[in-house]
Amino acid sequence: MIIGKGKPIKNILAMIENCSKIIVAGCRGCVTVCSAGGEKEVGILSAALSLARETDGKPIEIKEVTLERQCDPEYLETIRSFVDEYEAVVSIACGAGVQFMAEKFRKIPMYPGIDTNFIGVTETQGVWTERCQACGDCKLHITGGICPISRCAKSLLNGPCGGSSKGKCEVNPEVDCGWQLIYDRLKELGKLDQLEIIIPINDWSTGRDGGPRKIIREDLTL
Amino acid sequence: MTSDSRLEKILSRGDFAVTSECGPPRGADPEVIQKKGALIKDSVDAINVTDNQTSVVRMSSFSSCVILKQMGINPVLQMVTRDRNRIAIQSDILGAAALGINNILCLSGDHQKFGDHGKAKNVYDLDSIHLIQTVKQMRDEGKFLGGDDIKGKPRFFIGAAANPFADPFEFRVVRLAKKVAAGAQFIQTQCIYNLDRFKQWMQLVRDRGLHEKVHILGGVTPMKSLGMANYMKKMVPGMDVPDNLIARLKGVPKEKQADEGIKISVETIQQLREIKGVHGVHIMAIEWEEMVPGITQEAGLLPRPKVE
Amino acid sequence: MRLSYPPNIKIIQVPCTGKVDVLYLLKSFQRGADGVYVAGCMEGDCHYLTGNLRARKRVEFTKKILDEIGIGGERLEMYNMSAAQGPRFVEIAKEMTERIKKLGPNPIKRVASAALEYSATPEKKECVV
């Protein structure tokens, strides 16, 4: 899922400084699961913003909504009837959600209430880690199911750099060396010979380097 | 010969090679690099110039190499893939060749987190093995990565690094084999303090016959002090400083620790010469270049052989 | 034991402090509480194993929010005590009341009452859950 983290409330307060009536909009997708932008976080952020504004002597009216998803147009339509009655929307969906809202509701400003960080997993409750950088050309079949692009700080394709020490990355001793993980996994699978193969120079054009991406499925389009 | 490199000539005729390195200055003054070059010129066969090592911005390796070249020194251009994509890399390779630089050391480079620009974006379009392949393809096939022909092939003696002390240990030789398969002709290793582990690694290297395909130069860095040894042990990832070395430095008075550090380096070089498959040493006297003539003298590496 | 404790404290009962949510704590301040403290069981004695430990983490998290928005994290606290510690309950009630008296009323009321001309000493209010 997409993992995000709430922005400092001070930053959000600065965005809505001149507003007296806003919507705080959550999303029931990924950001609900990673506790960054679901219904509960909408409640907490709204309470915090309204407390802060009352403390400042500038009370604010906040409408709390949580959409099924902010990345699908039909769910955005559920707020169309009242969205223009407000001065701004603070969306705590991922960056895609905030942008899609901005595209669909053109009259009012759309502000991000969270930072969108990565595509990852819930390692244990309250701990999320990155797994994928959406490079558009998956190589997991040759690296033991562990991605060198997202899990090596240098995205090296041919083995650990000289900074791999005791299984940890030179960048941060709390982070596993991705290539150590690949090595261990291939060893478990009895496939260490796979590491002898030089993974060729990568085609990054399938990733963000190729420009904004688009997928069209002719069998599904209307 | 794949190039006009003095280092290549010395290694291919079977002489024990000596290389060293100069860290470029953090400014535009060419004299700094000239002074360092002059200090070690006659003690070594070639001099590496680091490429923004530890991700701290310095004068470019490329221009520092040109300065050394003008002094009659055979420079080794270190190039990291951290800061350049394949377009810039190939362009710099052509430029370096045009200016008479004929050794290149292909590296991935320290992560920018270690340097003075931790907020920078890194590139890593290629990894170090890809960089070796790139130089080789340009030199041997005369083709850019994109497939077009190069008019005027760049002739380089291609080097790479190896760290026998990083983890996973068993994979280190596999990685070396990949570098050799990619086209590396010489290898400069990480600083060697743990000779036992290095010998173990060399055994694995010989088991695969790699020592016959590539020239291995053992890395040596003299310790200036006990403080430096402790720092290297604890703070530098992938560095193996054994406790007995720390104890040895601790055993001498502070003002004698530098001398002891030099003595250790000389002994290391002497031991490295005895290891089958080690064809040279790479002395990295970090901001201590003036010690290189003494170390090479003591280790019996002088005078350096002449090359036509 | 008939011990008396400050009358400004309003007790909200929950089955376990593990039920206390960040939003409950913020809402208490929104409703005008000057201070809030969570009284949980002794650490290690939770009937639900870790309810009180999780409550403490939520209190810490909420303190940060309160600091950020100008209410002040010191208006919120987590205490642990057993059901048998009546005198300790009284002691904490007094201690927290003192702390909040020193801090003055919830800033949202200060702003509201500034408009109404701050007259008589406003009634101090605290919640304990």
Instruction: Please write the tens of the pLDDT for every residue from A87-128.
Output: 999 999 999 999 999 999 999 999 999 999 999 999 999 999
Nearest to C108 among A40, A43, A54 (CB): A54
Say which CATH class B6-298 falls into: alpha beta
Residues of A in contact with C35 (CB under 8 A): none
Does the pLDDT value for residue C118 go beyond 90? no
Mean pLDDT computed over every residue of chain C: 88
Please judge whether C26 and A52 are an interchain contact, meaning their C-beta atoms are less than 8 angstroms apart.
no
Q: Which two tokens stand for residue C118?
A: 């701050």
β-bridge partners, C77: C37
**3-state secondary structure (DSSP) of residue B235:** helix
Q: Do residue A21 and residue A109 come from a single domain?
A: yes
Q: Which residues of C touch A8 (CB under 8 A)?
A: 68
What's the mean pLDDT in B111-118?
94
Q: Do residues A112 and A48 share a domain? A: yes
pLDDT digits (tens, 9 = 90+) for B171-216: 999 999 999 999 999 999 999 999 999 999 999 999 999 999 999 9
Question: What is the least distance, in Å, from the CA of B132 to any CA of chain A?
Answer: 11
Residue A62 has pLDDT above 50, yes or no: yes
Chains contacting B (3 or more CB pairs within 8 Å): A
Average confidence (pLDDT) over C5-32:
94
Interface touch A40/C27, C-beta < 8 Å: no
Check residue B237 and give its pLDDT: 79
DSSP B150: P
Mean pLDDT confidence for A8-22: 98
Q: Tens digits of per-residue pLDDT, A161-185?
A: 988 889 999 999 999 999 999 999 9
Is A178 within 8 Å of A148 (Cβ atoms)? yes
Where do the H-state alpha helices sit in chain C? 22-30, 51-68, 86-103, 107-115
CATH number of the domain enclosing A79: 3.40.50.2300
Residue C121 has pLDDT above 60, yes or no: no
Of C81, C118, C73, give the one whose Cα is nearest residue C100.
Answer: C73
On whether both A63 and A139 belong to a single domain, the answer is no
Mean pLDDT of all residues in B157-172: 94
Domain ranges (residues) in chain B: 6-298
Task: Scan residues 20-59 of A and list those with Cβ closer than 8 Å to C.
Answer: 40, 43-44, 47-52, 54-57
Cα torsion B78, B80, B84, B85: sign: positive
| Closest-CA distance of chain A to residue B281, Å | 19
* Extents of the domains making up chain C: 15-128
pLDDT level of residue C112 (50, 70, 90 thresholds): low
| Check: complex ipTM more than 0.85 | yes
Cβ separation of A198 and B161 shorter than 8 Å?
no
DSSP H or E stretch at residue B160: strand B157-162
Task: Tell me if C26 and A51 make a contact (CB, 8 A cut-off).
Answer: yes
- CA B253 vs. chain centroid, Å, equals 32
Residue in A155, A172, A180 closest to B124 by CB? A155
Mean predicted lDDT score pLDDT of chain B:
96
- A27, A25, A28, A34: which is closest to A2 by C-alpha? A34
pLDDT of residue B238: 83
Q: Which residues of A touch B114 (CB under 8 A)?
A: 170
Which chain A residues are within 8 Å of B237, Cβ to Cβ? Answer: 162-165, 170
Query: In terms of domains, do A73 and A9 share one?
Result: yes
Tell whether A188 is within 8 A of chain C (Cβ): no
> % helix / strand / coil in chain A, to the nearest 5?
35, 20, 45
- When CB atoms are compared, the residue of A161, A165, A198 closest to B182 is A198
**Is A222 domain-assigned?**
no
pLDDT at A159: 87
Q: Under an 8 A CB cutoff, do A154 and B108 touch?
A: yes
Residue B83 confidence (pLDDT) above 60: yes
* Residue A127 within a domain: no
Q: Do A171 and B113 touch (CB under 8 A)?
A: yes
Residue carrying structure tokens 């380096």? B265
Domain span holding position A182: 135-210
- CB–CB of B127 and A156 under 8 A? yes
The share of chain B scoring above pLDDT 70, in percent, equals 100
Confidence of residue A10 (pLDDT cuts 50, 70, 90): very high
Closest chain B residue by Cα to residue A157: B127
Question: By CB neighbour count within 10 A (0-12 exposed, 13-18 middle, 19+ buried), where does C90 fall?
Answer: middle
pLDDT at A42: 98
- Contact of A161 with chain B, judged by CB distance below 8 Å, is answered with yes
Whether the pLDDT of residue C124 is over 50: the answer is: no
Per residue in B243-294, pLDDT (tens digit) is: 999 999 999 999 999 999 999 999 999 999 999 999 999 999 998 999 999 9
Interface residue of B130, B191, B239, B241 to substitute, partner A, most A CBs within 10 Å: B130
pLDDT at B92 exceeding the cut of 90 = yes
Question: Does residue A212 have a cis peptide bond before it, meaning omega lies within 30 degrees of 0?
Answer: no
Confidence of residue C111 (pLDDT cuts 50, 70, 90): low
Task: Please give the tally of structural domains in chain A.
Answer: 2
Q: How far apart are CA B34 and CA B46, in angstroms?
A: 14
Query: How high is the pLDDT of residue C125?
Result: 58
pLDDT value at residue C127: 66
- Which residues in chain B are contacts of A163 at CB distance < 8 A? 110-111, 166, 237-238
CA distances from A8 to A15, A23, A94, A214, C65 (A): 11, 18, 16, 32, 9
Distance from the Cα of C108 to chain A's closest Cα (Å) equals 4
Average pLDDT, chain A: 96
- Is the pLDDT at A197 greater than 90? The verdict is yes
User: B105: number of CA atoms within 13 Å, CB side?
Assistant: 28
Give the whole-number percent of chain A exceeding pLDDT 90. Answer: 97
Q: Is the peptide bond before B237 cis (omega within 30 degrees of 0)?
A: no
Distance from CA of B104 to the nearest CA of A (A): 18
pLDDT score recorded for residue C122 = 38
